[in-house]
Amino acid sequence: MKFTCLCQGGGFNFPPCHILNVSGFHVLFDCPLDLSALTVFSPLPNDFYKAICKENSDSQNRQKVEKPLDANDLIFAEPWYKTVNNLHLWNVSFIDVVLISSPMGMLGLPFLTRMEGFSAKIYITEAAARIGQLMMEELICMNMEYRQFYGAEESSGPQWMKWEELELLPSALRKIALGEDGSELGGGCPCIAHVKDCISKVQTLRFGEEACYNGILIIKAFSSGLDIGACNWIISGAKGNIAYISGSNFASGHAMDFDYRAIQGSDLILYSDLSSLDSTEDIDQSSFSDDNNNWEELMNSLSNYDESVEEMEKLAFICSCAIDSVKAGGSVLIPINRVGVFLQLLEQIAIFMECSSLKIPIYIISSVAEELLAYTNTIPEWLCKQRQEKLFSGDPLFAHVKLIKEKKIHVFPAVHSPKLLMNWQEPCIVFSPHWSLRLGPTIHLLRRWSGDHNSLLVLENEVDAELAVLPFKPISMKASESSTLTKDTATEVSSVSRGMEDSCQFFRCYFILSLPLFRK
């Protein structure tokens, strides 16, 4: 067996990517896009900003001199999407199986499936496939604005990709575009519209459903608790069972909880993402021993650890900040990211507003929002027990159904929608893509409110806030960085590894646990 790390990833939005060689087959785990790299591109300029940038670019010759970054240092072109660079070093015809752990882990699939020689079998859960498809379609829709503005790309590649142009970029931007050693330029690709063709090659699974590949490997998905449809994997072969643990949440407020019992009896556990270990900081690390009783004790501890409580506290903090802003006369902009947290935040903000006797409109502006909201209310089998109980009591799975009927939430496909313009009121609370602050309605709204010191922008802690808001400076708008959507993967990693040193080996960016004594 050989386990190769192609990319260590960068949290929820950019999950790790690995290749496992088992029983003579190459299994690829996840195929993400590094959307944080979009920050090197300028948002789509408005007419006034376009005139200024054109004048600056025509009148001055850029020199390779380090100075504080400003908006003119960004790349004014249609964005390219950064794929896993090391994946391009592989002959894709050698990949036999692709296992996708989350919707974010499938965003790079359209780039992979169109490569010559690719014929691998792709497995993903039903819910993750549908949500991932909607995310792909929205990316293409938002990117289309750039294509309409800048026109078709040159056949020889865009001007900004020429080496003499890249060398003139400030070092901070050059590092993002090219990587630490300048080797990641080949991982960039223009946005492509092969979503339907990509999805047609996917085989969807339910949690616990077995799929047999080539009569040798038995593949099964089980819940990771990270988001709706997100999963971990069990691969069973002639020589034993291997469990692959992606980013996980032991107790979720929306998705089905982490299925820890599924990994019991595995001969090998591969931890691809250290964020799945963060919850163990409050748990006795001595439980990680080679004793069967202690294994049961650890599993009971994990099942009793209510990680959703901490998540709800963070959501409550965001809601409190939002209410303070609208009370002061400002508006709130919340870029949409993790689907489950977005749905929970909608519920909590509505509750806070009702308690505060506020009648402020909540807008959701997204080309796929209507379809996404409808879909998430029809999938109880992918949700946590608390949500499933709502089904039996006759209540909607999520509160947005009732809130939309009561006209407390308004859903529109675009910021220029005539119905939105007729309905528009300020102050308001707006959910819209994209969290990178480079795509979609967020750009227009941020430009509108950036000078209002009472307004609030909720940013993700994975985002480089200074670089993200660079095109919108000077900015008076308050910005709040939230760790709700993702976890701090560095928290207590060293203590966790010390507590587990008797039963695992720390290898590069992941843990490998050999668990033959945990079998009953």
Give me the CATH code for the 2-49+71-150+161-274+489-508 domain, please: 3.60.15.10
Burial grade of 414 (CB within 10 A; 0-12, 13-18, 19 or more): middle
- What is the gyration radius of the CA atoms in the chain, in angstroms? 23
pLDDT digits (tens, 9 = 90+) for 76-106: 999 989 899 888 888 999 999 999 999 999 9
Are 337 and 417 in contact by the 8 Å Cβ rule? The answer is no
Contact 101, 230 (CB under 8 A): yes
Q: Which residue has the tokens 């509505």?
A: 350
Give whole-number Cα distances, 444 to 44, 75, 149, 247, in Å.
9, 19, 15, 33
Q: What are phi and psi of 283, to 5 degrees?
A: -115, 145
Beta carbons of 271 and 398 less than 8 angstroms apart: no
Per DSSP, the residues of 124-162 read EEHHHHHHHHHHHHHHHHHHHHHHHHH-SPPTT--GGGS
Token readout for 439 is 């795509």
Distance CA 237, CA 232 (A): 17
Q: Phi and psi of 475, rounded to 5°?
A: -125, 125
Residue 190, number of CB atoms within 10 A of its CB: 15
The pLDDT profile of the chain, 520 residues, written as one tens digit per residue, is 888 999 888 888 899 999 999 999 999 999 999 998 899 999 987 654 554 454 444 434 445 556 788 888 999 999 989 899 888 888 999 999 999 999 999 999 999 999 999 999 999 999 999 999 999 999 999 999 998 888 876 666 778 877 778 888 888 888 888 877 766 766 678 887 789 999 999 999 999 999 999 999 999 999 999 999 999 999 998 888 999 999 888 878 899 999 988 988 889 989 886 544 444 444 443 334 444 555 555 555 555 555 567 778 888 999 999 999 999 999 999 999 889 999 999 999 999 999 988 899 999 999 999 999 999 999 999 999 999 998 888 889 999 999 999 999 999 999 999 999 999 999 999 999 999 999 999 999 999 999 999 999 998 777 788 899 999 989 999 887 665 444 433 222 222 223 323 333 322 233 343 333 223 3
Q: Single out the residue of 246, 244, 248, 249 nearest to residue 219, CA to CA.
A: 244
Segment (H or E) for 291: none
Residues 6+ apart with CB under 8 A from 103: 128, 131, 132, 135, 227, 229, 230, 339
Residue type, 435: W
Which position has the token pair 């929002």?
369
- Please give the pLDDT value at position 314: 85
Alpha carbon distance 328, 17 (integer Å): 45
Extents of the domains making up the chain: 2-49+71-150+161-274+489-508, 306-482
First to last CA, the chain: 24
Task: State the CATH class of domain 306-482.
Answer: alpha beta
**Cα 247 from chain centroid?**
11
Could you write out the DSSP letters of every residue in 169-186?
A: S-HHHHHHHH-TTS--GG
Summarised one tens digit per residue, pLDDT across range 361-415 is 999 999 999 999 999 999 999 999 999 998 888 889 999 999 999 999 999 999 9
Write down the pLDDT at residue 417: 93
Tell me the C-alpha distance between 200 and 70, whole Å: 43
